[in-house]
Amino acid sequence: QQTQSGVDTTNGIDTGVSDQIASDVLSSGSYTTNQVVIYTAKNLNIQPNSDKTTVTNYINIMFQNSQQMAERDKQNGNEIDIINNAILNQDQKEITKLDPIIASYQTLLSNMLKVPVPAEVTTLHLEFVNSVSNVLSDLQAIRGTFIDPVKSLAAINTYKQNYIDMSLAIQKLQTYAQMKLKSFGK
């Protein structure tokens, strides 16, 4: 392969072979796909009823966890800014700022698996848990940007949609909570 000045820049490497290797790596779903844990209802702490006490307890725990995440976000910074700064500046130290954010998502996920879930909200809660799991998996892969940039790039591509899905799941749970609290007269 020659540049515009006619200089061979391949150093004798067959670019057809290297292009094929790159294509094979990128087309390998097992390589570029994050290993996300998918949870089912069996993983949740489902309560057999949805009475006022169970639902109110659930709403209170969800509210406490959302406050904790908001506080952690203030302390740890915005993950998008961290990722952008690390990549733009090629700064491996910057990407380590994701560590406390990843830890907070791990804590949130653990808490969401333990919370007593009213039976009537199982589907919505499961949607939220799996969206948190997806975002967590993406962030863990992105954390490896300077170790495995190809896998990280694949995670960056799915992160935005997974984050949107998590936000939508949160909105659905907030709507559920508002409707239930109205029905309880609060």
Name the DSSP class of 126: H
Q: What is the pLDDT of residue 18?
A: 47
The neighbouring-strand residues paired with 8 are 2
pTM of the model: 0.80
Token pair 């109205």 is at which residue? 182
- The per-residue pLDDT for range 119-163, each reduced to its tens digit, is 999 999 999 999 999 999 999 999 998 888 888 888 998 999 999
Please give, one letter per residue, the 3-state secondary structure of 69-118: HHHHHHHHCCHHHHHHHHHHCCCHHHHCCHHHHHHHHHHHHHHHHHCEEE
Please determine, for residue 19, whether its predicted confidence score (pLDDT) is greater than 70.
no
Q: What is the pLDDT of residue 27?
A: 57
Is residue 184 within 8 Å of residue 52, measured between CB atoms? Answer: yes
- The per-residue pLDDT for range 28-75, each reduced to its tens digit, is 555 455 678 899 999 999 999 889 999 999 999 999 999 998 898 889
